[in-house]
Chains A and B, each alone.
Chain A
Amino acid sequence: NAGVTQTPKFQVLKTGQSMTLQCAQDMNHNSMYWYRQDPGMGLRLIYYSASEGTTDKGEVPNGYNVSRLNKREFSLRLEPAAPSQTSVYFCASSQDGGTGNTIYFGEGSWLTVV
């Protein structure tokens, strides 16, 4: 049961570099999300995709871009990376957002920007 798979799990970047976090789900879900987790702040939504072909900004979109490549895949790009983007990133998916469906999370990507 793969569920939501995100890569890489760990990454160290230099300020100004670019990188893409990859995410794929095998549950045929329509909605996908990217969150970041920082100590004492819970999880904050960066971007989401309610369905294939659509993306929308969440609470903290600045400094990020996303691509819903197809129904399975939703990538997050940092370009350029900044130290403030040091965080743990979680990709998630649900059958359909806004209906009380369970959101399933990946295991996280630990990103450090130096």
Chain B
Amino acid sequence: AQSVTQLDSQVPVFEEAPVELRCNYSSSVSVYLFWYVQYPNQGLQLLLKYLSGSTLVKGINGFEAEFNKSQTSFHLRKPSVHISDTAEYFCAVEDDYKLSFGAGTTVTVRA
């Protein structure tokens, strides 16, 4: 079974500063990787996903992530955050028909 580790549980960041959320996964086979965002009191929505091809994946709201097979990582980045990016972010790996999620990273953007 796959496992996902999100290395930071909380990331405070100032508005217009860059942010990076770290994600590592365990796998010995090819994987599909995802980042989801959860705004307060809402369900999860997809930010981006990696299936194959280019290792740099661009998603919605200016987010991007880089797949690194040798380091088994899929870190999420945004060059300049907004107050509205305050949310919880989940990294996930698809394994045998289902997603396995990391514990989540709470991003708090301050003015």
| Residues on A facing B (Cβ under 8 Å) | 4, 31, 33, 35, 40-45, 48, 50, 58-59, 90, 97-100, 102-103, 105-108
Interfacial chain A residues near B104, Cβ < 8 Å: 40, 42
How many pairs, one residue from A and one from B, have CB atoms within 8 Å of each other in the complex? Answer: 57
Q: Are A97 and B97 in contact (CB under 8 A)?
A: yes
Docked pose: A108 CA to B41 CA in angstroms? 8
Q: Are A43 and B46 in contact (CB under 8 A)?
A: no
Q: Closest approach, in angstroms, between the C-beta of A95 and any C-beta of chain B?
A: 12
What is the chain B residue whose CB lies nearest that of A50?
A: B97
Q: Are A98 and B97 in contact (CB under 8 A)?
A: yes
Q: Tell me whether B103 is interfacial, beta carbon within 8 Å.
A: yes
Q: Tell me whether B67 is interfacial, beta carbon within 8 Å.
A: no
Query: Interface majority SS on B: helix, strand, loop or mixed?
Result: strand
Q: Are A31 and B51 in contact (CB under 8 A)?
A: no
Q: Tell me whether B14 is interfacial, beta carbon within 8 Å.
A: no
Q: Tell me whether B101 is interfacial, beta carbon within 8 Å.
A: yes
Partner of A40, one of B9, B41, B97: B9
Q: Closest approach, in angstroms, between the C-beta of A24 and any C-beta of chain B?
A: 14
Docked pose: A50 CA to B96 CA in angstroms? 10
Q: Are B42 and A108 in contact (CB under 8 A)?
A: yes
Interfacial chain A residues near B100, Cβ < 8 Å: 45, 59
Interfacial chain B residues near A31, Cβ < 8 Å: 97
Q: Closest approach, in angstroms, between the C-beta of B37 and any C-beta of chain A?
A: 11
Interfacial chain A residues near B46, Cβ < 8 Å: 102-103
Q: A42-B103, A90-B43, A108-B42 are in contact. Are A100 and B49 (CB under 8 A)?
A: yes
Docked pose: A42 CA to B102 CA in angstroms? 6
Supply 11 A–B pairs (Cβ within 8 Å), ascending by A.
A33-B98, A33-B99, A43-B44, A44-B101, A48-B98, A97-B94, A99-B32, A102-B49, A103-B46, A108-B41, A108-B43
